[in-house]
């Protein structure tokens, strides 16, 4: 009888330990790792469209030190993990493999790490050639989750940086018609620059960050056969809030802008 009791107790303890271990493993996996799919690139991209999700692509190589830094920091952040797993189909592309090299050539990847985001229609809407911190990546991911950005057609393929920059100040509201047809927008931003050169846009971003704490993003746009880069500030819940901030920019800092 005692022997049977000992066997039952031992079995109970073993099952309990197995259950706890399994639970911890599932919890850790779900909370700390991005569900990077092992599917082929085009299949994963199509699945994202079928599921109404965005498509996130991380180009990397085993010898890429910044890639490893993002892997051990940014991609381990719980909020980043949750955001990607909930709203995106994600894939990692090793450019040193046969398939990876082919995809690298197709999208003209020349810098690592490079991140691409496709909207739910399968259209390329963002390219980032930068090592991103947790906060920068979260800003990018949440921006594209918003409903209005999922239909923006931005077909940006990498171009070599050009030292000369044709800069246009936002003297007129080019997006008035866009805003009037998207009156249910939940987020408004202030456009403070419009450039046909990525380096010029980044210089503008650096300049603004020295003066302001507001969120700043660069939105790629394809217009009239050329790539343009819109520098946007803020994250306002209403058009009136954005307009008030626009007034401050003009009055106190002599910065021309438009509400986007």
Is residue 227 within 8 A of residue 196, CB to CB? The reply is yes
Grade residue 184 by pLDDT with cuts at 50, 70 and 90: low
In order of 77, 172, 187, 202, 242, the CA distances from 258 in angstroms are: 34, 7, 14, 19, 9
CATH code of residue 79: 3.40.30.10
pTM for this model (two decimals): 0.49
| Domains: count for the chain | 2
pLDDT digits (tens, 9 = 90+) for 62-89: 988 888 888 988 999 999 999 999 999 9
What SS3 state is found at 200? helix
Q: Which of 86, 120, 151 is the last residue before a domain boundary?
A: 151
pLDDT digits (tens, 9 = 90+) for 206-230: 888 777 777 788 887 777 777 788 8
User: Residue 169 pLDDT more than 80?
Assistant: no
Give dist(CA 188, CA 79) in Å, integer: 23
**Positions marked active-site:** 64, 67
Across 147-168, average pLDDT: 37
Question: Do residues 139 and 171 both lie within one domain?
Answer: no
Q: How far is CA 195 from the centre of its chain?
A: 21
User: Residue 4 pLDDT more than 70?
Assistant: no
Instruction: Say if 18 falls within a structural domain.
Output: no
User: Which range of residues forms the domain containing residue 240?
Assistant: 167-259
Question: Do residues 177 and 253 both lie within one domain?
Answer: yes
Ordered strands of the 54-60 beta sheet: 88-94, 54-60, 114-118, 124-128
Between 134 and 146, the higher pLDDT residue: 134
Across 183-190, average pLDDT: 72
Give dist(CA 43, CA 143) in Å, integer: 25
CB atoms within 10 A of CB 58: 21
CATH code of residue 178: 3.30.70.1070
Instruction: Say if 31 falls within a structural domain.
Output: no
């Amino acid at each position: 009888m005692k022997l049977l009791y000992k066997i039952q107790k031992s079995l109970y303890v073993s099952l309990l330990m197995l259950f706890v271990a399994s639970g911890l493993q599932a919890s850790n996996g779900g909370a700390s790792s991005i569900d990077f799919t092992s599917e082929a690139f085009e299949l994963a991209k199509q699945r994202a469209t079928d599921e109404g999700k965005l498509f996130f692509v991380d180009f990397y190589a085993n010898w890429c030190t910044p890639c490893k830094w993002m892997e051990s920091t940014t991609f381990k952040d719980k909020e980043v993990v949750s955001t990607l797993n909930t709203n995106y189909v994600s894939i990692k592309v090793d450019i040193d493999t046969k398939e990876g090299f082919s995809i690298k050539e197709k999208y003209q990847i020349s810098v690592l790490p490079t991140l691409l985001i496709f909207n739910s229609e399968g259209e390329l809407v963002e390219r980032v050639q930068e090592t991103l911190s947790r906060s920068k990546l979260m800003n990018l991911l949440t921006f594209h989750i918003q409903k209005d950005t999922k239909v923006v057609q931005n077909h940006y393929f990498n171009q070599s940086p050009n030292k000369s920059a044709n800069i246009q100040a936002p003297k007129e509201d080019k997006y008035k018609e866009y805003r009037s047809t998207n009156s249910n927008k939940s987020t408004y931003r202030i456009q403070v620059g419009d450039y046909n050169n990525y380096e010029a846009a980044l210089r503008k971003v650096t300049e603004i960050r020295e003066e302001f704490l507001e969120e700043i993003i660069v939105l790629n746009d394809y217009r009239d056969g050329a790539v343009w880069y819109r520098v946007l500030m803020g994250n306002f819940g209403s058009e009136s809030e954005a307009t008030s901030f626009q007034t401050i920019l003009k009055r106190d800092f002599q910065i021309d802008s438009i509400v986007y």
